[in-house]
Chain A
Amino acid sequence: MKTTSKWLLEILLVLLALLFMSPIYLMLVNSFKNRAELYENALALPSSFSFQYYTRAMEKMSYWTAFGNSLFVTVISVVIVVLLASMTAWMLVRTDNRLSKIIFMILVSTMLIPFQTLMMPLMQVMDWVRTSLHIPMLNTHGGLIYMNVGFHASMAVFLYHGFMKSVPIALEEAATLDGCGKFGVFWRIVFPMLTTITITVAILDVIAIWNDYLLPSLTLSDKGLRTIPLSTFYFFGEFTIVWNLAMAGLVLTIVPVVIFYFFAQKYIVKGIAAGAVK
């Protein structure tokens, strides 16, 4: 009785897992089929494995350029968010006055603002900066990184702020007495103790920024600057009916994410759980 129900649950779980993976299966098998084969039976395995659609998709979507752009924008944005947010959160926690509280409240309450509420006025502001101050905020990776930092700042400060209470203040005081300056105290003593939450912040932001479509689509117009979601969008618009080519392109965009997931799975799952609970 006990074992039968256990086996039933086991079978149910396997079936659910297979069902969950069926879209991935469909995408994979059809990326290898030619047109006739695909329309004859989209569910069957391909009769031969040829990577011709992959090489063509890679070329059509300028895969390596887009990959490099995504990597550059994501890494730099996340590094800046981590540095600035941890510094800010530390000061806000260690300076117990009204100003700190007000700044923190403003940061937290703006987390409710949807992107759609800000996108049009943001583009006007950045356009004004571009024309009046001659700082190229639009159609540059630098501008995109700047805006990424602005959008992810409040969440990161919030996470660091919550974690900072578990960092013992005694160590900092001892270091200050030993003649360590503010920068020294922060980078040598405090920041290393924040590693757990730094990983959470970094993972949440890597996922969000890597997959972001809307902000890059508004700011970047040059073909050579496109990130992976952007180049997928244009590629798919062009080859929507050519399913085998389109599927090969999609597989290519997913590969980096899957590799990242399998290497950092433990941290990702922990980070997601920790980030959500806060």
Chain B
Amino acid sequence: MMSKRNNRLWFAVFTVPLLFVFTTVVIVPFVIGIGYSFVSWDGIPANPKIFVGFDNYAGLFRDDRFLSSSWHTVEFTLLALISVNLLGLVLSLLVTSKLRTSNAARTLFFMPNLIGGLILGYIWQFIFTDALKLVGQQTGMESLFFNWLLNPQFALYAMVIVFTWQMAGYTMIIYIAGIQGIPDDLIEAAKVDGANLWHRLTRIIFPLLMPAFTICLFLTLSGAFKIYDVNLSLTNGGPGNATELFAMNIFNEIFGYGHYGLGQAKAIVFFLIVAVLTLTQVVITKRREVQM
């Protein structure tokens, strides 16, 4: 009896400090955040919070800026998903084919990932505005090399490029771990049986890489969908609102326009989409994994 009470006490001593901080920083704001999404409020403490029911949620469907922002986020996420994973996979295959420069190249490919998104965006802002323009003037190919950030469509592509630069090395590391887990004799046996490079890739390597695909798709999907820092420093939503993606739209709605209730409703919808997307994606890819 005594020891049981003692165990409970120790349980509390070890877990309560973390759980207290976690509750006040994550759980409480999450719960009252749901409450905020049902009121109309401008963020000034003295002004009243008026209960409006589901009006904020209904209002989302009439908010053109929000709808076009959602569409651009989907477009960006799809493009980023493809380019990050394609490049990451190619890099990992190159780096693991026992070349002389493999180690140095691996180090370089991963480095951009450690630099914060805000700073990456600023570096590329210079490249897209001035360096590209100069290349265009010197080569005469001004239809391709111009200030991408002034064109709504190309500004979105610019974000895909920066995000790829940031994330490709990261997925490369995960794909490398996957490739190194494939036994060499399996590949050798396939070679002896006359399988060419394409067959070795599609019939052996890719199926065995499914766990790595699951992880990489999950990470790029949620990373791309939630992007904010690169968005802020590279385009700041411009030109116009053409590249104002989901996270930035929420931030601007709350802290820019002072629509606290509406913005929080967007934030709740954002959470629901992120949750559904990532859970579905994990379930689908898990099902296709091959057991060795």
Residues of A within 8 A of B (CB): 6, 9-10, 12-14, 16-17, 20-21, 23-24, 26-27, 30, 39, 41-43, 84-85, 87-88, 90-92, 95, 103, 106-107, 110, 112-122, 124-125, 127, 146-147, 149-151, 153-154, 157, 182, 186, 207, 210-214, 229, 232-233, 236, 240, 243, 246-247, 250, 253-254, 257-258, 260-261, 265, 268-269, 272-273, 276-277
Interface contact B32-A112, CB-CB below 8 Å: no
The answer to the question of B112 belonging to the interface, with a C-beta cut-off of 8 Å to chain A, is: yes
User: Given A17-B109, A20-B112, A229-B118, list of 12 further CB < 8 A pairs?
Assistant: A42-B131, A88-B19, A103-B19, A112-B275, A119-B254, A119-B267, A120-B264, A121-B29, A125-B29, A146-B25, A246-B126, A250-B123
Interface contact B126-A247, CB-CB below 8 Å: yes
Q: Assess A95 versus B174: contact at CB under 8 Å? Given A16-B94, A107-B22, A113-B271.
A: no
Interface contact A88-B14, CB-CB below 8 Å: yes
Kindly list chain B residues whose C-beta atoms are within 8 Å of the C-beta of A42.
130-131, 134
Interface contact A17-B126, CB-CB below 8 Å: no
Interface contact A265-B250, CB-CB below 8 Å: no
Interface contact B124-A23, CB-CB below 8 Å: yes
Interface contact A120-B254, CB-CB below 8 Å: yes
The answer to the question of B278 belonging to the interface, with a C-beta cut-off of 8 Å to chain A, is: yes
Q: How far is the CA of A265 from the CA of B107 in the complex (A)?
A: 8
Q: Assess A10 versus B101: contact at CB under 8 Å? Given A90-B14, A116-B228, A150-B22.
A: yes
Kindly list chain A residues whose C-beta atoms are within 8 Å of the C-beta of B219.
276
Q: How far is the CA of A198 from the CA of B128 in the complex (A)?
A: 40
Sample of 24 A–B contacts (CB below 8 Å): A10-B100, A13-B99, A14-B101, A23-B165, A91-B15, A95-B11, A103-B19, A113-B30, A114-B271, A114-B274, A116-B250, A116-B270, A117-B270, A117-B271, A121-B30, A149-B21, A154-B26, A213-B116, A236-B122, A257-B114, A261-B111, A276-B215, A276-B219, A277-B174
Kindly list chain A residues whose C-beta atoms are within 8 Å of the C-beta of B165.
20, 23
Q: How far is the CA of A19 from the CA of B109 in the complex (A)?
A: 10
Interface contact B108-A232, CB-CB below 8 Å: no
Of B36, B45, B114, B250, the contact of A268 (CB 8 Å cutoff): B114
Within 8 A of A (CB), among B5-49: 7, 10-11, 13-15, 17-19, 21-22, 24-30, 32-33, 36, 45
A177 → chain B closest CB, angstroms: 14
**Count, A-B residue pairs, CB within 8 A:** 230
Interface contact B18-A211, CB-CB below 8 Å: no
Kindly list chain A residues whose C-beta atoms are within 8 Å of the C-beta of B264.
120-121
The answer to the question of B260 belonging to the interface, with a C-beta cut-off of 8 Å to chain A, is: yes
Interface contact B119-A21, CB-CB below 8 Å: no
B179 → chain A closest CB, angstroms: 12
Provide the main secondary structure of the chain B interface.
helix
Number of B positions contacting A (CB below 8 A): 85
The proximity string for B residues 76-112 relative to A, scoring 1 for CB distances below 8 Å and 0 otherwise, is 0000000000000001001101011110110111111
Q: Assess A211 versus B33: contact at CB under 8 Å? Given A114-B271, A116-B250.
A: no
Kindly list chain B residues whose C-beta atoms are within 8 Å of the C-beta of A114.
226, 247, 267, 270-271, 274
The answer to the question of B209 belonging to the interface, with a C-beta cut-off of 8 Å to chain A, is: no
Q: How far is the CA of A232 from the CA of B233 in the complex (A)?
A: 10
Q: How far is the CA of A117 from the CA of B174 in the complex (A)?
A: 29
Kindly list chain B residues whose C-beta atoms are within 8 Å of the C-beta of A236.
122, 233
Kindly list chain B residues whose C-beta atoms are within 8 Å of the C-beta of A39.
130
Q: How far is the CA of A253 from the CA of B102 in the complex (A)?
A: 28
Interface contact A211-B25, CB-CB below 8 Å: no
Interface contact B170-A110, CB-CB below 8 Å: no
Kindly list chain B residues whose C-beta atoms are within 8 Å of the C-beta of A90.
14
Kindly list chain B residues whose C-beta atoms are within 8 Å of the C-beta of A277.
174, 177, 211, 215
The proximity string for B residues 150-194 relative to A, scoring 1 for CB distances below 8 Å and 0 otherwise, is 000000000000000100001001101100000000000000000
The answer to the question of B204 belonging to the interface, with a C-beta cut-off of 8 Å to chain A, is: no
